[in-house]
């Protein structure tokens, strides 16, 4: 479910970015709805960074607590602490 949320965030950010990119006037001005979509685009960007950092910190947390099963994703790689 969490990865589906990440994909949804990426799709929303891409759609809002495309909408804004295609709607900017030749003089660089934007309408009010473009400004709203630009703000939404920035908001989705922040959520994606939080999502990414959340994943990294959860891996670190699991390693600190002693859950080494998370390292099974590196089965073929020799890791000294495994």
Nearest CA to 55 out of 70, 68, 40, 45 is that of 70
% helix / strand / coil in the chain, to the nearest 5? Answer: 75, 0, 25
The Cα–Cα gap between 79 and 64 comes to 16
Nearest CA to 60 out of 34, 81, 76 is that of 81
Q: What is the mean pLDDT of residues 8-12?
A: 95
Q: What is the mean pLDDT of residues 3-18?
A: 93
Q: What are phi and psi of 57, to 5 degrees?
A: -70, -30
For the entire predicted model, the pTM comes to 0.75
14-41: per-residue pLDDT in tens? Answer: 999 999 999 888 888 888 999 999 999 9
As a residue count, the chain comes to 82
Q: What is the pLDDT of residue 13?
A: 96
């Amino acid at each position: 479910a969490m990865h589906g949320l990440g994909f949804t965030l990426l799709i929303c950010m891409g759609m809002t970015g495309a909408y804004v990119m295609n709607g900017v006037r030749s003089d660089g001005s934007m309408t009010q709805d473009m400004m709203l979509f630009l703000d939404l685009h920035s908001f989705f960007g922040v959520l994606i960074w939080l999502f990414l950092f959340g994943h990294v910190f959860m891996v670190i947390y699991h390693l600190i607590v002693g859950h080494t099963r998370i390292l099974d994703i590196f089965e073929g790689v020799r890791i000294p602490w495994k």
